Structure 1
Amino acid sequence: MVTLTAINDENDQKLFDEQVAAAAAAEAAEQEYSDVGSDDEDAEEDEDDEFDIDETIYERVVALKDIVPPQHRVFASKAASTIYDWASAGFSFGGKAIYIITSSSLLLGVPLALSIMSEQQLNETEAEMKLAQGSNDIVAPGATTAVAPAATA
């Protein structure tokens, strides 16, 4: 613990020096003769060993610089750079491929789908016409249409 003391005069300076020397001697004697620490000292040491709660992930990563050797850091940096480059190229290629597939399907697939639908509609119309003609034959077999005169034999 640090205390600040204002010194005004030479006598006060000598008194202060004596007090500082006495405090230092008392502290040295206390450290020299005390084999067993108090609970307060143990608690303070435990608090120092614990992690700093306000420490961020970035600060922890920066602290790894002291632990990890330089050749391993260079290898990790190159590996991360390579992975980033491959991922970037993959996403770029994937985006371009999706664009090509989508635009091709719109330009080719939509007209093809419309032509298939119109062909199917035409087939349904022809089937309805045949059914209508077949129902006319059932109602009046051998009858001719009103437009054409009946043939005499």
Structure 2
Amino acid sequence: MVQLQEIVDEHFQEPQPGPEEDDADYTDTDSEISEESEYDPSDETLGERLYALRDIVSPQTRGYITNKVTAAGNAVMSVLTFSGKTLWVISSSALLLGIPWALAWSEEQQVLEMEKEMKMREMGGDLLTAGTHDGASTAQQLGNALGPETKPAL
């Protein structure tokens, strides 16, 4: 059977070098510090107070939080960058394609209005020269020009 024997190292038997413990010099310094200290908590900002609390959170947790905040910041920056580029593409496309199309469409509308006006003038000219058409009166020609569904008012 195996027997264990404790061997004491001589190094641990010697007292440590340094000042001798003297309990007579020990005093409660809390009251002295609070009275003699020039610390004023009203001068401290919220940021300084939060920075002082950093040691309460473990380094692993601080690293985790830092990584998450950095990842969220990068995601927001990516979304904003993509949105800005998309807005640039849409606005420049609208300027390069939309404005010429709108101008051409408005010109086409003007041409249609001018054609309508020309037809109205021709109709008005035909009404003024009513005596030359088969002896029909101006009211009859106007009725024919407006269509068969219109009837003269009584």
TM-score interval, normalised by the smaller of the two chains: 0.5 to 0.7
Residue 102 of structure 2, aligned match among 85, 110, 113: 113
One-letter identity of the residue aligned with 1:58: G
Q: Indicate which of 63, 73, 76 corresponds to 1:84.
A: 73
Compute the displacement of 1:142 (Å).
Answer: 6.5
Give the match for residue 91 of structure 2: 102
Q: Distance in 2 between matches of 1:122 and 1:83?
A: 57
Q: Distance in 2 between matches of 1:143 and 1:116?
A: 41
**CA 1:142–1:83 in structure 2 vs 1: closer, same or farther (change >3 Å)?**
farther
Q: Counterparts of 1:100 and 1:142 in 2: how far apart (Å)?
A: 64
Alignment RMSD, CA only?
2.7
| TM-score between the two structures when normalised by the length of structure 2 | 0.58
Unaligned runs of 5+ in 1: 1-27, 32-40, 145-153
Determine which of 74, 87, 98 is the counterpart of 2:63: 74
Alignment pair present for 1:57 and 2:46: yes
Question: Where does residue 136 of structure 1 map in the other structure?
Answer: 125
Please list the CA deviations of residues 43-66 of structure 1 after superposition, one character each: whole Å capped at 9, or x if unmatched.
x89xx9xx8111123212211212
Q: How many residues are aligned here?
A: 101
Shift of 1:71: 2.0
Tell me the distance in 2 between the aligned counterparts of 1:101 and 1:70: 46
Identical positions, percent: 37
Cα deviation, residue 116, structure 1: 0.3
The separation in 2 between residues aligned to 1:90 and 1:81, in whole angstroms, is 14
Which protein has the bigger helix share?
Answer: 1
Bigger relative contact order (CA 8 A; separation at least 6): 2
For residue 53 of structure 1, give the secondary structure of its aligned residue in structure 2: helix
